Amino acid sequence: MRILMIGDVLSKIGRKALIDGLPSMRKRLSADIVTANVENGAGMFGITEQVVEEITSSGVDIMTGGNHIWDKREGIRLMEDRDDLLRPANYPPGVPGYGHVIR
State the amino acid at position 8 in one-letter form: D
b/e sequence 50-83, b meaning 16+ C-beta within 10 Å: ebbebbbebbbbbbbbeebbbbbebbbebbeebe
Active-site residues: which are they?
A: 68
Question: DSSP states of 40-55 as a string?
Answer: TTTTTS---HHHHHHH
φ/ψ (deg, to 5) at 3: -115, 125
